[in-house]
Amino acid sequence: MASPYMKAQEAAEYLCFASVEALYKAIPAQRIPFVRRGSRTLLFHRDRLDRWLEDQAKRNVLKLATR
C-alpha cells in the first residue's frame, strides 16, 4: 500500500505549482497543511491537500459571488 504522504516535489506537482520553491513560498501565506519530519523535511498528506484545495475553491467561489 502506498503512503498517503508526499515529499515536497510530489506535492508541488499534485497541486500544480510551477516548482518546489513556489510551493515553499506559498506555505506561510496560503496555510498549506504539512508535517515536519526531522529538522528539514516537509511531508504533505494527500487527504489534507485535497481538503485544502476544496476550501480554496469554496473561497474563490464566494469571492466571485460577492463582486
In the chain the first and final C-alpha atoms are separated, in Å, by 45
Low-confidence ranges of the chain (pLDDT < 70): 62-67
Which residue's entry shows cell 499534485? Answer: 14
- Cβ pair 35, 27 in contact under 8 A: no
* Confidence (pLDDT) at 67: 57
* Confidence (pLDDT) at 63: 66
pTM of the model: 0.82
* Confidence (pLDDT) at 53: 92
